[in-house]
């Protein structure tokens, strides 16, 4: 092997020093096969055409750009806009990625999809595309999340998926990923449909590609409506797929501020949060190098957020790079701030946001008063909050 090829291979799948593939030896050939299939699909105009057709006819894209007139009037300051991923079929951005990966699975001749899920939105989106494409579907979900996101468990079952409740460790998203990776290794014919820009190469690159439609649409819609780009783009960060999806179209626009919002749970000074970039350090988790929240033994630490889709002790490797390069700023919002933002979005705009997305709304509400009238904030409203009503209504004192 020439040293040039070695260098090219060593840097493949890396964002700065983050990313890569740190997996058991028997898994690497399957990831190589996946990468080759992805690259060939990307070069195939028919694949692109079918992906775009399904996004339009099945998902309902383009999703709307909504101006929040009431909040903008009451808070200030700057003007607030939402990119409405909550209006997609199945109610979140997750469907964009599952359509892309399921088409890839079909192209590879696969008949079984496995996936992890936290909030159940990715599980529901995976069960949906499995039904659409006639594939078997197994979803791994932490037992705690099975309880707190029950409406989505019912949806997955209605769609014909098997939901496996994972009962080890904290019984949330990290354990669901552990179980799905184990199943992927044990089932050589299955396709692992990963739900965020995490995991070993090529997943972060592939999921980014399938979610980049959010940013392309938002950029075009904003330019058409306002005649200029947004001043600030804000998105919540769990694994980081909705954030990368919208940020990707603005990375080269130095005047557009990009802000990722992590879950501060019960506070950054407690151990009950999942603010990986804000409080973690570089390490390896689930087969890739990124920032990780670790305990005193260097193991991924227990994490917590009111929002099942955000409580993960790692984060997409591109986010780690974007933080270190200074292009994106990462902040956090607490449970209380997210619940308050949820209430304000419901009562003032008639939109019920997912608790995950409410973290991004909370940051926008902090920003608006300090901005001038001609400044704008675009929030990626990654999903709808029907699934969260059992959690939130008691906190709002609603019987």
Ligand X SMILES: Cc1ncc(COP(=O)(O)O)c(C=O)c1O
Task: Select from 163, 90, 161, 169 the least CA-distant residue to 130.
Answer: 161
Q: Which of 34, 80, 92, 344 binds ligand X (CB under 6 A)?
A: 92
Cβ atoms of 232 and 367 within 8 Å: the answer is: yes
118 lines the binding site for ligand X (CB under 6 A): yes
Distance in Å, CB of 134 to ligand X, minimum: 25
Task: Select from 197, 167, 380 the least CA-distant residue to 276.
Answer: 197
Nearer to ligand X, 360 or 371 (CB): 360
Tokens (6 digits) for 2: 């020439």
**Active-site annotation holder among 68, 232, 236, 286:** 68
Q: Which stretch binds ligand X (CB under 6 A): 55-63, 125-133, 232-240, 333-341?
A: 232-240
Tell me whether residue 286 is one of the annotated catalytic residues.
no
32-64 residues labelled b (16+ CB within 10 A) or e (exposed): eebbebbeebeeeeebeebbeebbeebbebbbe
- Please give the Cα distance from 194 to 78 (Å, whole number): 37
**Site track 169-198 with ligand X (rule: CB under 6 A), x = hit:** ---------------------------x--
Q: Which stretch binds ligand X (CB under 6 A): 7-15, 53-61, 241-249, 338-346?
A: 241-249
Strand residue runs (E) in the chain: 14-15, 18-19, 65-68, 79-84, 112-117, 136-142, 162-166, 191-192, 232-236, 257-265, 281-285, 288-292, 328-334, 376-381
301 lines the binding site for ligand X (CB under 6 A): no
Q: Which of 31, 87, 103, 121 binds ligand X (CB under 6 A)?
A: 121
**Site track 374-393 with ligand X (rule: CB under 6 A), x = hit:** --------xx----------
Distance in Å, CB of 73 to ligand X, minimum: 27
Nearer to ligand X, 361 or 371 (CB): 361
- Please give the Cα distance from 146 to 161 (Å, whole number): 14
Which residues of this chain interact with ligand X, rule CB under 6 A?
Answer: 92, 118-119, 121-122, 196, 236-243, 309-310, 354, 356-357, 382-383
Catalytically active residues are 68, 93
């Amino acid at each position: 092997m020439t040293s040039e090829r070695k260098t090219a291979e060593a840097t493949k799948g890396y964002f700065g020093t983050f990313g890569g593939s740190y997996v058991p030896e028997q898994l690497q050939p399957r990831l190589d096969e996946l990468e080759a299939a992805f690259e060939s699909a990307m070069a195939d105009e028919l694949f692109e055409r079918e992906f775009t057709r399904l996004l339009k006819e099945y998902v309902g894209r383009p999703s709307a750009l909504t101006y929040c007139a009431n909040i903008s009037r009451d808070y200030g300051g700057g003007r607030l806009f939402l990119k409405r991923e909550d209006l997609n079929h199945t109610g979140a951005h997750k469907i964009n990625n599952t359509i892309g990966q399921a088409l890839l699975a079909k192209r590879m001749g696969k008949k079984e999809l496995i996936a992890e899920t936290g909030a159940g939105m990715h599980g529901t989106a995976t069960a949906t595309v499995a039904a659409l494409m006639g594939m078997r579907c197994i979803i791994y979900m932490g037992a705690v999340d099975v309880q707190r996101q029950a409406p989505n468990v019912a949806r997955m079952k209605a769609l014909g998926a098997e939901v496996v409740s994972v009962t080890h460790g904290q019984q949330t998203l990290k354990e669901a990923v552990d179980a799905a990776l184990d199943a992927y290794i044990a089932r050589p014919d299955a396709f692992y449909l990963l739900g965020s820009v995490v995991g070993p190469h090529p997943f972060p690159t592939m999921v980014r590609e399938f979610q980049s439609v959010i940013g392309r649409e938002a950029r075009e819609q904003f330019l058409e409506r306002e005649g200029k780009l947004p001043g600030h783009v804000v998105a919540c960060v769990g694994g980081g797929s909705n954030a990368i999806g919208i940020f990707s179209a603005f990375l080269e626009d130095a005047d557009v501020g990009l802000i990722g919002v992590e879950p501060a749970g019960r506070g950054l000074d407690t151990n009950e949060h999942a603010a990986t970039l804000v409080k973690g350090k570089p390490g390896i988790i689930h087969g890739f190098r990124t920032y990780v929240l670790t305990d005193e033994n260097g193991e991924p630490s227990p994490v917590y957020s009111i929002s099942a889709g955000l409580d993960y002790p790692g984060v997409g490797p591109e986010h780690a790079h974007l933080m270190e390069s200074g292009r994106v700023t990462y902040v956090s919002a607490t449970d209380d701030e997210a619940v308050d933002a949820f209430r304000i979005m419901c009562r003032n705009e008639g939109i019920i946001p997912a608790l995950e997305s409410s973290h991004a709304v909370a940051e926008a509400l902090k920003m608006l008063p300090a901005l001038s009238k001609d400044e704008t904030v675009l929030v990626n409203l990654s999903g709808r909050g029907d699934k969260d009503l059992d959690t939130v209504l008691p906190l709002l004192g609603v019987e």
